């Protein structure tokens, strides 16, 4: 099986060790690192996303796929310095204040990164002020917020208000996600979009940036 095809398959299988081995082989064979990413790793993740969305794959499997993809990326990233990596857009991502749930948010981060976005993952318990600071500092295209608790959903509204007060709201698209939130809530608080899962978050970000 050609190496790129086998790499893609190993990402889909979530086989971290095989992805490492094949990525090393591709590097030793002199393959262009960007082609290894685009024609191997990303091809694999592009199969995983829709399967997850269709309910054919489950969270633990997707996490393994994302981990396998990251294992390959770690070996390739140092070789990409100085190369023109095609970046679709920049996303500042965090779990809102008083909320410590991060498994879903990290899944969203990994899927976005795998799809060509630069992600600034702020972590958990991120206050409106911290979102504002990170937006000033990083000038992202999109601010993404995650909340898993009904009690912390309101922090999303507060963060949007803080972005408005800092005159940053017009510069960025805002997306929200997490089990208790909905499209209706996104409309209510003035977010630009809501995604029910990680694969949809990638689609939404691409759509909002016209990609």
Question: Which residues contribute to the site for ligand B1M (CB under 6 A)?
Answer: 59, 93, 98-105, 107-108, 144-146, 148-151, 175-180, 195, 197-198, 201
Which C-beta is closer to ligand B1M: that of 140 or that of 144? 144
Nearer to ligand B1M, 40 or 49 (CB): 49
CA 205 → CA 93, 112, 128, 141, 192, distances in Å? 12, 9, 21, 9, 10
Report the residue number, 79 or 179, with the smaller CB distance to ligand B1M. Answer: 179
The closest of 82, 64, 78 to 19, measured between CA atoms, is 64
Q: Are 111 and 49 in contact (CB under 8 A)?
A: yes
**Nearest approach, Cβ of residue 155 and ligand B1M (Å):** 11
Q: Which is nearer to ligand B1M, 36 or 108 (CB)?
A: 108
CB of 198 to ligand B1M, least distance (A): 4
Strand boundaries in the chain, DSSP class E: 89-96, 117-126, 142-146, 173-177, 193-194
Minimal distance in Å, beta carbon 183 to ligand B1M?
A: 12
**Rounded-to-integer distance, Cα 180 and Cα 1, Å:** 44
- C-alpha 11/C-alpha 19 separation (Å) is 7
In the numeric block, the tokens 């082609």 are attached to 35
Which one, 72 or 144, has the nearer CB to ligand B1M?
A: 144
Distance CA 186, CA 182 (A): 6
Q: Do 95 and 147 contact (CB within 8 A), yes or no?
A: yes
């Amino acid at each position: 099986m050609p190496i790129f095809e086998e790499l893609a398959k190993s990402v889909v299988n979530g086989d971290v060790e095989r992805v490492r081995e094949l990525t090393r082989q591709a590097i030793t064979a002199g393959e262009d690192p960007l082609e290894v990413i685009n024609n191997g790793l990303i091809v694999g993740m592009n199969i995983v996303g829709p399967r997850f969305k269709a309910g054919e794959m489950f969270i633990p499997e997707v996490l393994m796929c994302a981990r396998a993809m990251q294992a390959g990326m770690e070996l390739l990233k140092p070789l990409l310095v100085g190369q023109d990596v095609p970046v679709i857009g920049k996303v500042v991502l965090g779990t809102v204040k008083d909320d410590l749930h991060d498994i879903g948010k990290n899944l969203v981060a990994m899927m976005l990164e795998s799809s060509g976005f630069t992600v600034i993952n702020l972590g958990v318990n991120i206050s409106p002020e911290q979102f504002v600071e990170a937006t000033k500092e990083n000038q992202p295209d999109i601010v993404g917020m995650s909340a898993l608790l009904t009690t912390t959903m309101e922090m999303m509204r507060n963060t949007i208000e803080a972005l408005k007060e800092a005159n940053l709201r017009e510069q960025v698209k805002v997306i929200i996600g997490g089990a208790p939130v909905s499209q209706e809530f996104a409309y209510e608080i003035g977010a630009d979009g809501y995604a029910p899962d990680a694969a949809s978050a990638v689609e939404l970000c691409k759509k909002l940036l016209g990609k």
